[in-house]
A and B are shown apart, each in its own frame.
Chain A
Amino acid sequence: MNTPPRVFRLVIALCFASSAAVASPDYPDAVQGATGSPCPPPCTVCHESSSGGYGTAVKPFARSMAKVGKLDAEDAALVAPAVEKLRAQATDSDGDGATDIDELGAGRDPNLHGKGDLCGPEYGCGARVEPRGRIDGSALALSALAALALFARWRWR
């Protein structure tokens, strides 16, 4: 086949050779860290929908956060100071008698009057694949070995 290998190698380099970074957890992890909530809250704790976007952080809790901190800079470091201000002010966005930060810490939705459920459903059937904190090096090595074995079989066929 008359393919241009240089172009192809460039494509591979651009698309695969980047570092194996996992997307930054950003605000959900920051909120969990600052409030002690049992899970990273979903985007919808602030945004109108899970697709987010400017101007869509209209939930009562998001409005309260916006009043005490400029959170539109997409800087997760701004979350903790804003949470502390809400804690100091004992803000109760949904008016149910429990403060937002207490509700978050208890896994409750600060936008919904009453109990709510911050963490939502559990997904999956229970087991784990990856031991906590383990790097994926062995899986990579196994994949490479499997690839070599398949390739060898193809060559010798």
Chain B
Amino acid sequence: MGLFLRVALFVLALSALALTTRPAHAYGFMIRHGYGGCTTCHTDPSGGETLTRYGRAQSDLLLRMRYGKAEASAPPAPASGSFDGFDDFDETASPKQIPAPAPAEEEDAASPSRSSGFLWGLFDEPDFVSLGGSLRSASTLKSGDFRWFPMQADFYGQLAFGPLHVGGSLGAVKTRAGSPHGRAALVTRGDDGQLNLVSRTHWLGLGLDSRNELLLRAGRLNVPFGLRMSEHVMWVREATRTDRESDQQHGVALAYSGEALRGEVMAIAGNYQLTPDRYRERGYSLYLEGFASSSLAVGASHLFTVAQADRLSLEQGETLRGAHGLFARWSPLRPLVVMAEANGLKSSRRDLGYVGFVQADYELTQGLHLGATGEALDAGRVRQTGPDQAKIPGAGEPRFGGWLTTTWYFLPHCDLRVDAIARQNADFMLMSQLHVFL
């Protein structure tokens, strides 16, 4: 990469920290390369945030555009067609056996570039350290109104000392009046529009077996439910309150990452970054996903919580909330991945509801993805004191939405995404995001 570009990227990325707000990757579509599980490329057993060294290499080899070089995306197929064949990597090879990054002038398609490392290879992390970060700048155009805002500025990482793991994230955020985004993960307590520290996850973990298949964690964790994805405003994540933006909860979780099965169950103790206690949701959440073949994974999720008041609707009194559903990822052809999730919803003072989505991701050429998503929501008619609420789209009647997406992984650690979003009862919106991960 040219000197100018390297410096410009780095300075811009760090400068964005001074502004700020929300989260990053977890690409379910990597199943097209035979990666059904998450632990090969991510330190979180259910995916997202911090990449392993191997994950960084695969990001460089399989995800980003190669500009005329032979694409390296021929899948290094799992030896046994197992669910998480590349997790075997952890058992059979030490990190030092990963193909060494080639010097920039000797880059070829078969080995990851040196720039795939943390901060584009500026530092070599010790083996027990995995560091990362995400800087995301977004702009929206809706009804002629153009807005730009820093969406995310997080650093994250993990330390691993034998079976003991310590992980977490720390970033900066500016919340917006009236908006729920960002708030639930705040560490500091400034007013809307002011910079605040945010920690979406922080946890201690203990590996329970020599194969690294069982990991017990305690702390603030992503809620294990459904498909882990970057689109935190997708209805399926909003309605179940299981996004990676700020919906994490404190609790204890046990994750299993096996060859044909993976799953995680979490005892939710509540979000201890908010007060008073009556707004904290307690309960449990879990998912289980099985690999029917090297290109098809099917799973189920279940969530149940109880609080003494609802932190979003602000309704007082016991608030039960449940979500139960199925999800799947399928790659019928290598360039195409179809992901779907459907959940039933039940919460206090509402009728039964549902939420779901279907998304197709097509890799036009390595580094350039086209996507189409359809989503549906009926969270259930609101039943309050006094006259019942009328049925409206999204609450008593179905509400539909559609996304068309283009994502260009144009440089190491950089992608540009443009979404055209049309939702019933909402203005058409164009949204662009420039995402740089460290």
Contact of A43 with B179 at beta-carbon distance under 8 Å, contacts A18-B139, A53-B426 already known: yes
B22 to chain A, nearest CB (A): 12
Contact of A49 with B379 at beta-carbon distance under 8 Å, contacts A8-B5, A140-B18 already known: yes
Q: In the docked arrangement, what's the CA distance between A18 and B149, Å?
A: 9
Q: Please state if B5 and A5 are interface contacts (CB–CB under 8 Å).
A: yes
Q: Chain B contacts of A55 at CB under 8 A? A: 392-393, 425
Q: Please state if B15 and A143 are interface contacts (CB–CB under 8 Å).
A: yes
Q: Chain A contacts of B18 at CB under 8 A? A: 136, 139-140, 142-143
Q: Chain A contacts of B426 at CB under 8 A? A: 52-54
Q: In the docked arrangement, what's the CA distance between A55 and B1, Å?
A: 50
Q: Please state if B189 and A128 are interface contacts (CB–CB under 8 Å).
A: yes
Which residue of B194, B313, B410 contacts A11 across the interface (Cβ within 8 Å)?
Answer: B410
Asked if B126 CB lies within 8 Å of chain A CBs, one says: no
Q: In the docked arrangement, what's the CA distance between A126 and B197, Å?
A: 11
Q: Chain A contacts of B148 at CB under 8 A? A: 18-21
B389 to chain A, nearest CB (A): 6
Contact of A42 with B195 at beta-carbon distance under 8 Å, contacts A5-B2, A53-B426, A143-B18 already known: no
Q: Which of A22-30, A82-90, A98-106 contacts B (4 or more CB under 8 A)?
A: A22-30
The residue in chain B whose Cβ has the minimal distance to the Cβ of A130 is B195
Q: Please state if A123 and B273 are interface contacts (CB–CB under 8 Å).
A: yes
Q: Which of B30-38, B89-97, B169-177 contacts A (4 or more CB under 8 A)?
A: B169-177
Q: Inter-chain contact count A-B, CB under 8 Å? A: 237
Q: Please state if A111 and B384 are interface contacts (CB–CB under 8 Å).
A: yes
Q: In the docked arrangement, what's the CA distance between A147 and B312, Å?
A: 39
Q: Please state if B197 and A129 are interface contacts (CB–CB under 8 Å).
A: yes
Asked if B293 CB lies within 8 Å of chain A CBs, one says: no
A: number of interface residues (CB 8 Å): 78
Asked if A64 CB lies within 8 Å of chain B CBs, one says: no
Q: Chain B contacts of A121 at CB under 8 A? A: 274-276, 279, 311
Q: Chain A contacts of B238 at CB under 8 A? A: 49-51
Contact of A113 with B410 at beta-carbon distance under 8 Å, contacts A25-B178, A48-B392, A136-B19 already known: no
Q: Which of A1-47 contact B (CB under 8 A)?
A: 1-5, 7-8, 11-12, 14-16, 18-29, 32, 40-44
Which residue of A15, A22, A112, A128 contacts B176 across the interface (Cβ within 8 Å)?
Answer: A22
Contact of A129 with B195 at beta-carbon distance under 8 Å, contacts A16-B137, A51-B233, A140-B18 already known: yes
The residue in chain A whose Cβ has the minimal distance to the Cβ of B14 is A143
Contact of A40 with B178 at beta-carbon distance under 8 Å, contacts A51-B238, A121-B311 already known: yes
Q: Please state if B19 and A109 are interface contacts (CB–CB under 8 Å).
A: no
Q: Chain A contacts of B139 at CB under 8 A? A: 15, 18
Q: In the docked arrangement, what's the CA distance between A83 and B300, Å?
A: 47
Q: Chain B contacts of A74 at CB under 8 A? A: 143
Q: Which of B339-362 contact A (CB under 8 A)?
A: none
B306 to chain A, nearest CB (A): 16
Q: Chain A contacts of B178 at CB under 8 A? A: 25-29, 40-43
Contact of A144 with B188 at beta-carbon distance under 8 Å, contacts A21-B148, A23-B176, A121-B275 already known: no
Q: In the docked arrangement, what's the CA distance between A14 and B410, Å?
A: 15
Would you give the 0/1 interface string for B1-34, flagging 1 where the beta carbon is closer than 8 Å to chain A?
Answer: 1101111111110111111000000000000000
Q: Chain A contacts of B186 at CB under 8 A? A: 123-125
Q: In the docked arrangement, what's the CA distance between A5 and B390, Å?
A: 55
B134 to chain A, nearest CB (A): 14
Q: Which of B137-180 contact A (CB under 8 A)?
A: 137, 139, 143, 147-150, 172, 174, 176-180
Contact of A129 with B122 at beta-carbon distance under 8 Å, contacts A3-B411, A43-B179, A151-B10 already known: no
Q: Chain A contacts of B176 at CB under 8 A? A: 22-23, 25
Q: In the docked arrangement, what's the CA distance between A40 and B189, Å?
A: 15
Q: In the docked arrangement, what's the CA distance between A96 and B193, Å?
A: 34
Q: Chain B contacts of A147 at CB under 8 A? A: 7, 10-11, 14-15
For the complex of A and B, list the 7 residue pairs with the smallest distance between their C-beta atoms, beginning with the closest: A28-B178, A124-B189, A139-B18, A15-B434, A40-B177, A124-B186, A18-B148
- Please name 16 further chain A to chain B contacts, defined as beta carbons within 8 Å, in addition to the given A21-B148, A120-B314, sorted by A numbering: A1-B113, A2-B67, A15-B139, A16-B12, A18-B148, A20-B148, A23-B147, A29-B178, A53-B425, A58-B392, A117-B314, A123-B186, A123-B189, A124-B186, A128-B190, A142-B18
A-B contact pairs, 26 of them (CB 8 A): A12-B12, A15-B137, A15-B139, A15-B434, A29-B192, A40-B177, A43-B180, A44-B312, A49-B312, A52-B426, A53-B426, A55-B393, A58-B382, A58-B395, A94-B386, A114-B316, A120-B311, A123-B184, A123-B273, A125-B186, A128-B188, A129-B196, A130-B194, A140-B15, A143-B14, A150-B122
